[in-house]
Amino acid sequence: MNKQNIDKDFLSVLGDKYDKDFFTDKNGSLRQELDKTGVLVLPDFVSASTLKALQEEADILKKNAYKSESVYNLYVLPDDKSLSPDAPRNRKFRTTKGCVPDDQIPKKSILRKIYEADIFRGFMCKMQRLINIYSYSDNLSSININYYDPDDSLEWHFDNADFAVTLLVKNPKKGGIYEYFPNMRYGAESKEDYETLRKILDRKLKPKRVLMGEGTLMIFRGNRSLHRVTKVEVGERVLITLNYNIKPRIPLSEKSRMTFFGRTK
């Protein structure tokens, strides 16, 4: 399929206000918001019929989801042995979820119309001040469907990736709220603020919350902002992650593939 048709297919699945002009961000207000808050929230990004189709697809594919459990520190890095186990740098958190990898998602899925569209990729590059972005080179990591059932959560952490793109397909009836502390890293002093992290982890500071409706697309700089999704209490949370790399021919690490997919290929 040629570029023009891919972009036409992309625009056809979106909500009413997301036309070609929207993705040019002519006055720079969208990027300005992302720079200021670390998060850009685009409600009703997909049309009602698209949302219904994605929900149905997610329901069908859930049987293929790999249920993972991971334990990590805030930085998802090896512990700093010079600090105590209770130090903010080394405290441990547990995340559980189900995940369908890219190779289980149909080639004709609407998700691929979104992920592969040049208009969409160009918009992401504009938001991040990049020349280009790339799919992951392995067959599992580019598009993922994530399922959070009751008692599942995504606990506090910083991302290793420069930015993340998510599409909320299904909201739980209770719980599953996105919380974050914006722009905590890579500031003028370029050092980690462990004292503020301690206050956050000891619940002495209140996080910002993003209350999203189904069909919301969110772009966020998770490597700069501490974030989590609270425990799902009732119902199911289904979230699509559209994963890009800033360098070509890069796979997700084998360790991460084993953790999230239960296999490396």
Host domain of residue 151 = 3-258
CA 80/CA 32 separation, integer angstroms: 35
pLDDT in tens, the chain (265 residues): 566 677 889 999 999 999 999 999 999 999 999 999 999 999 999 999 999 999 999 999 999 999 999 999 999 999 999 999 999 999 999 999 999 999 999 999 999 999 999 999 999 999 999 999 999 999 999 999 999 999 999 999 999 888 999 999 999 999 999 999 998 887 655 678 899 999 999 999 999 999 999 999 999 999 999 999 999 999 999 999 999 999 999 999 999 999 999 999 9
- Asked if the structure places residue 226 within a domain, the reply is yes
Residue 189: the pLDDT is 59
- Asked if the structure places residue 219 within a domain, the reply is yes
Number of separate domains in the chain = 1
Residue 192: the pLDDT is 85
- Asked if the structure places residue 83 within a domain, the reply is yes
CA 76/CA 50 separation, integer angstroms: 34
Contact between 216 and 44 (Cβ < 8 Å): yes
Q: What is the pTM of this model?
A: 0.94
- Asked if the structure places residue 101 within a domain, the reply is yes
- Asked if the structure places residue 207 within a domain, the reply is yes
* CATH number where 56 lies: 2.60.120.620
Residue 191: the pLDDT is 79
Cβ neighbors of 187 (< 8 A, separation 6 or more) are none
CB atoms closer than 10 angstroms to residue 213: 11
- Asked if the structure places residue 264 within a domain, the reply is no
